[in-house]
Amino acid sequence: MRKLLTILFLSLFLISLVSAWDTCVDDCTGDSPACGAYLDTNNDNLCDHGQPKPVQSGTSQTIQLSVPVVAAEDSHDILTGQELKELTVTEVATVYNINPEDYTEELSKYLNIKVSNNHPFQLLHDNYGLEPSIAKEIALDIPNKQTPAPQQAITGTHYNFLPITIFTILLYFLTLLLSKRKVISLRNHRKIWNILLLLTFLISAILGILLVIKIEYGWAIPLPFNILTWHVYAGIPFASISIFHTLWHWPYLKRMFKFK
């Protein structure tokens, strides 16, 4: 037992000598007997055991992103439009190597709203019409403080308000004319527009609820179309058909609001 312990002690002692620093003559090589075992971990062609032990200056931590981080002026196309929509304001600022607070401030000025660091770009695109190309331009121009001119408020003309309204009215008078000429019954004429009233209401209401959920809670529900656009597209004919529906029932409504 004593012999085993002695062998173990000597083995540990020899290992410590082999792995120790500054234990052999200067400028020794692999052929120098004084080295014991030639070791060159820093690739300077000198045995580590003939040099002072290096001192670590500290550690660094690197944040890994799914997209490269480069200087803002290097490229306008670091991110595709779809990639940008999947990131928040802070994440895009990190990619373009700019201050997130500066980026948030410039986006707020451009959109005329209060933008926060954790706002997803999908929300800014769907609800405020911020195009990815403009978001990139703002990010690239921040070092030079050349923010694009603020966008104009979104108006009904962006959603083809007049064409949709006129088409709905013409379609209504077409079915009304067909009912007058006995091609279809008046009952079927009203049934058609009651069904369209229900469909446009459901589409507009459901998409409106999804928008509220996205804005209030940040729950982005992936759909293959722009939620805000189709919410408005359904809302325009819904409003027009509601007027027709009100006119049908005007005598009833008139009696209902008539107080003695």
Residue 5 lies in a domain: no
Q: What is the pLDDT of residue 193?
A: 95
Residue 140 lies in a domain: yes
Judged against a pLDDT cut of 90, whether residue 172 lies above it is answered with yes
User: Which domain-ending residue is among 144, 166, 195?
Assistant: 144
Report the number of distinct structural domains present in the chain: 3
Tokens read off for 53: 């032990």
- Spatial separation of the C-alpha atoms in residues 191 and 194, rounded to whole Å: 5
Residue 93 lies in a domain: yes
Average pLDDT over residues 217-229: 77
Residue 189 lies in a domain: yes
243 and 170 share one domain: yes
Residue 8 lies in a domain: no
Which amino acid does the sequence have at 195?
A: I
34 and 96 share one domain: no
Average pLDDT over residues 92-111: 87
Q: What is the pLDDT of residue 169?
A: 95
pLDDT band at 156 (very low <50, low <70, confident <90, very high): very low
Domain of residue 126 covers 81-144
122 and 174 share one domain: no
pLDDT band at 191 (very low <50, low <70, confident <90, very high): very high
Residue 60 lies in a domain: no
| Cut 0.85: pTM above it | no
- Spatial separation of the C-alpha atoms in residues 150 and 83, rounded to whole Å: 24
User: Which domain-ending residue is among 95, 117, 144?
Assistant: 144
Closest by CA position to 21, among listed 53, 45, 47, 54:
53
CA triplet 244, 246, 249: central angle to 5 degrees? 110
Cα torsion angle, 107, 111, 117, 122, sign: negative
Q: What is the mean pLDDT of the chain?
A: 74
Tokens read off for 136: 């990139």
Least confident of 11-15, 200-204, 216-220: 11-15
Judged against a pLDDT cut of 80, whether residue 115 lies above it is answered with yes
134 and 174 share one domain: no
Q: What is the pLDDT of residue 223?
A: 77
What DSSP designation does 144 have?
Answer: G
pLDDT band at 52 (very low <50, low <70, confident <90, very high): low
CA triplet 44, 49, 53: central angle to 5 degrees? 80
User: Which domain-ending residue is among 144, 173, 197?
Assistant: 144
More confidently predicted of 24 and 92: 92
Beta strands in the chain (DSSP E): none
Q: What is the pLDDT of residue 213?
A: 85
